[in-house]
Amino acid sequence: MPDTPDNVVLVHWHDLGRHLPSYGAEGVAGPRTDELAADSIVLTDAHATAPLCSPARGSILTGRYPHHNGLVGLAHHGWEYHDDVETLPAVLAARGWHTALFGMQHESSDPGRLGYAEYDVSNSFCDHVVALAEDFLGRIGDRPFLLNAGFFETHRPYPEDRYTHPDPATVTVPDHLPDTPQVRADLAGFHGAIAKADAALGRLLDALDRHGLSGNTWVVFHTDHGAAFPRAKSTLYAAGTGIAFMIRPPRGRGIAPRRLDGLFSGVDLVPTVLELLGVEVPAAVQGVSHAGQVLGTETADARTEVFTEKTYHDSYDPIRAVRTKRFSYLENYAARPELVLPLDIADSPSGAAVAGRYAGPRPAVELYDLVADPGETVNVAGRPEYAAVQAELAELLHRWRRDTGDHLPSDAEGSAIAGKNTATYLARLEEGVA
């Protein structure tokens, strides 16, 4: 470990995916995220391990896949980490870092078990979170620290009394959505939320400069999973698992900002950060470190594939997938419609715009050629010319499931578990405690 340990600031946004100008999104403004990207190592092909909040966040903070750490569904529906799971803040706290969480967390119904020395999760809107973070940075002194700042912004809804909506005519509609007035208005609200969060991010970065902390602090900006629009969040397509991930090195270290196009998984954050800090990576961590790539001492990609999973969202919907730079391969383990929308999307204008479009049966196997079909719309599974690739990816996925202990309940058992957890959540909601 270095004589003077570095600090880490994690800033995470909800339900954003890669919908930022620094990732090529058109018709949306983000001047402070653009500024951060210009100073950072930008991971252009990062993926969440899961396309929904708790499992995705759990992997990012433990370095373990959802089925391995226990957080296979939403925390407010009853899922929690296994007792043996050690989080990034817990690892660093045990080695002398002061750890703090302000704002959004979705890993446990009890934030006290997440490993932070102090936390305030009473309000996750970005203005409140940044005010808490600014106070923290002003009083931390010389102690090394991990600060985790979670913004609720960019999660539905996008009310006009909270966000300034741009003109829907200026919005660029992503290819996976129909271009209708309702979808444009919905996206305009999303863009307003992004603008709000972008400005708050800028104030947090300014506070690091103001308190003289930018020279010994790694800033990691990330999102949890895809945006809350149809065929994105809650799917294992790129729009559902693709996330923004930027790592800004401490100022003055001579680490060049650049874009890294290799694959990166949510489980890779913990080993990467720990190696950058000079801390031994716990044996239970399943991710791989990209510290060499970040520092510029290694040129080869750290991994050749990423694995993603979905088990429970609003219902039991078991899917597993493996993605390489060239192909995406999915296995669907239960008979479901082609697309199951989570409740927040189903109730949205964009959800209404696609109602009935994806009601057909979901195939058991999906394979997409990402060079010919980057939008993953043409399923080539079963075609003779792709037989060898399909067999290779199936074996790769099955081996990963076996090696990581991924065992799924039957459809009936899984649905019963989901129903029980949902009923418990609804009861807690009635009591005012959820």
pLDDT tens digits, one per residue of 24-47? 999 999 999 999 999 999 999 999
pLDDT number for residue 341: 94
Angstrom CA distances, 160 to 90, 99, 150, 192, stand at 39, 35, 22, 8
Q: CA 161, CA 151: separation in Å to the nearest integer? A: 18
Angle at which helices 269-277 and 53-62 cross, to 10°? 30
Question: Per residue, what are the HEC states of the chain?
Answer: CCCCCCEEEEEEECCCCCCCHHHCCCCCCCHHHHHHHHCCEEEEEEECCCCCHHHHHHHHHHCCCHHHHCCCCCHHHCCCCCCCCCCHHHHHHCCCCEEEEEECCCCCCCHHHCCCCEEECCCCCHHHHHHHHHHHHHHCCCCCEEEEEEECCCCCCCCCCCCCCCCHHHCCCCCCCCCCHHHHHHHHHHHHHHHHHHHHHHHHHHHHHHCCCHHHEEEEEEECCCCCCCCECECCCHHHHEEEEEEECCCCCCCCCEEEEEEEEHHHHHHHHHHHHCCCCCCCCCCCCCHHHHHCCCCCCCCCCEEEEEEECCCEEEEEEEECCCEEEEEECCCCECCCCCHHHHCCHHHHHCCCCCCCECCCEEEEECCCCCCCCCCCCCCHHHHHHHHHHHHHHHHHHHHCCCCCCCHHHHHHHHHHHHHHHHHHHHHCCC
Query: Are the C-beta atoms of 282 and 88 separated by less than 8 Å?
Result: no
Residue range 295-331, pLDDT digits in tens: 999 999 999 999 999 999 989 999 999 999 999 999 9
Question: What is the amino acid identity at position 327?
Answer: F
pLDDT number for residue 59: 98
Nearest to 171 by CA among 190, 154, 184: 184
Tokens of 204: 């947090």
Domain boundaries, the chain: 7-295, 306-425
Cis ω on the peptide bond leading into residue 157 (within 30° of 0)? yes
Q: Could you tell me the end-to-end alpha-carbon distance of the chain, in angstroms, rounded to an integer?
A: 41
Domains 7-295 and 306-425 share a fold: no
Q: 306-425 has which CATH code?
A: 3.30.1120.10
pLDDT number for residue 1: 44
Nearest to 148 by CA among 9, 243, 271, 26: 9
Give the count of beta carbons closer than 10 Å to the beta carbon of residue 30.
24
Give the count of beta carbons closer than 10 Å to the beta carbon of residue 238.
22
β-bridge mates for residue 98, sequence order: 145
Q: CA 339, CA 356: separation in Å to the nearest integer? A: 10
Tokens of 344: 């927040």
Q: CA 18, CA 233: separation in Å to the nearest integer? A: 12
177 Cα distance to chain centroid = 21
Angstrom CA distances, 228 to 177, 294, 354, stand at 12, 30, 13
What pTM did the predictor assign?
0.95
Fold of 7-295: Alkaline Phosphatase, subunit A (3.40.720)
Angstrom CA distances, 285 to 73, 183, 404, stand at 20, 40, 11
Could you say which residues of the chain have pLDDT below 50?
1, 433-434
β-bridge mates for residue 367, sequence order: 329
